Amino acid sequence: MNDLEYLGVEVRGARERAGLSQRQFAVGTGFSQSYISKVEHGALIPSEDFARKCDLVLGTSGLFERLRARLVERGHPSWFAPFAKMEREAEEVLDYSLWTLPGLLQTEEYARALFRAGHPEATEDWIEKRVENRVSRRGVLTGDDPPPFWAIIHESVLLPHIGGARAMRAQLEHLLEAASRPRVTVQVLALTAGAPPATEPFIHLQLPRQRSVVYTDTALGGQLSTSDDQVRFCRTAFERLRAEALSPTMSTRLIRKIAKELPHDDD
């Protein structure tokens, strides 16, 4: 059980001990019953206001404010944690990467370099916790019954020396190893392909019970969408990207070529 799920269990337990139904709790906190259900099932990071209202209604003396603060500090960013939970439940993962390699395929060194570059004032403990969280996501692809994972990676993602040439070479070798697994497919959208069918990266998750969700990432945080129109747009864009990209065989050849051509100056 992760921190998000634990918080949800604690909210539900405290509510039930107080003898409140979800509907009664919704009235007391001023939040919808649907919102409360998502929190209790570990599908939503509660807001600070919700945590304060929980403590007020349940008389828990700041417990849920503290649990929420601990979750945000130790776990994934608040806007990402619900997606990380859905990712573990996915029946299929489609990832279009335009700026960096997919999180599920990143090495520790590569992820560490990204976090350090993006958060130059962060402590080492903060960086290492984020690296640990990202690397732990790779378990989605290494379990007993991993979902099919299809990554389309723009060629420009393979060229920067993230973490230095040695770290980037190890990252590309890791990418090649992942691409050799039966349920992992990697295609490269070549520089010569021209304008891409989608100009922003996204991840499409096919979830149980025919549900779908799309996650998009920006410098200001991520966004989840279950909108039929947005899900359909991303699914269609991914199909066009598959058609435009190099074949899996040609893609691995290109990745191997780029890895071999990396300089050895920092070795």
How far apart CA 173 and CA 256 sit, in angstroms, is 8
How far apart CA 144 and CA 128 sit, in angstroms, is 27
Predicted local confidence at residue 266, as pLDDT? 59
Query: Which one-letter DSSP state was computed for residue 148?
Result: P
Greater pLDDT, 232 or 78: 232
Question: Does 145 score more than 70 pLDDT?
Answer: yes
In the block, residue with structure tokens 């960013």:
77
**Max Cα separation, the chain?**
66
User: Are 254 and 261 spatial neighbours (Cβ–Cβ below 8 Å)?
Assistant: no
Q: What proportion of the chain, given as a percentage, has pLDDT over 90?
A: 59
Q: Where are the alpha helices (DSSP H) in the chain?
A: 3-17, 22-29, 33-40, 48-58, 63-74, 81-89, 108-118, 124-136, 139-142, 165-179, 228-244, 248-260
User: Are 264 and 165 spatial neighbours (Cβ–Cβ below 8 Å)?
Assistant: yes
Which amino acid is present at 26?
A: A
pLDDT tens profile 100-127: 999 999 999 999 999 999 888 888 888 8
Predicted local confidence at residue 69, as pLDDT? 78
Predicted local confidence at residue 180, as pLDDT? 94
Residue 64, classified by CB atoms within 10 Å of its CB into exposed (0-12), middle (13-18) or buried (19+), is buried
Which amino acid is present at 39?
A: V
DSSP letters of 17-66? HTT--HHHHHHHHTS-HHHHHHHHTTSSPPPHHHHHHHHHHHT-TTHHHH
Predicted local confidence at residue 2, as pLDDT? 64
Domain ranges of the chain: 3-74, 81-260
pLDDT tens profile 236-251: 999 999 999 999 999 9
Q: Per-residue pLDDT averaged across 33-61, rounded?
A: 88
**What is the pLDDT confidence band of residue 14, given thresholds at 50, 70 and 90?**
very high
pLDDT tens profile 182-222: 999 999 999 999 999 898 999 999 988 878 989 887 665 66
Q: Per-residue pLDDT averaged across 160-185, rounded?
A: 95
Distances in Å between the Cα of 200 and the Cα atoms of 97, 137, 152, 203 are: 8, 22, 12, 10
In the block, residue with structure tokens 């990202």:
134
User: Are 188 and 153 spatial neighbours (Cβ–Cβ below 8 Å)?
Assistant: yes
Question: Domain 81-260 carries which CATH code?
Answer: 3.30.870
Return mean pLDDT, the chain.
Answer: 88
Beta strands at 92-97 and 149-154: parallel, antiparallel or unpaired: parallel
Report residue 97: phi and psi, to 5°. -110, 125
Predicted local confidence at residue 238, as pLDDT? 96
CATH architecture of 3-74: Orthogonal Bundle (1.10)
Which candidate, 194, 200, 175, places its Cα nearest to that of 253? 175
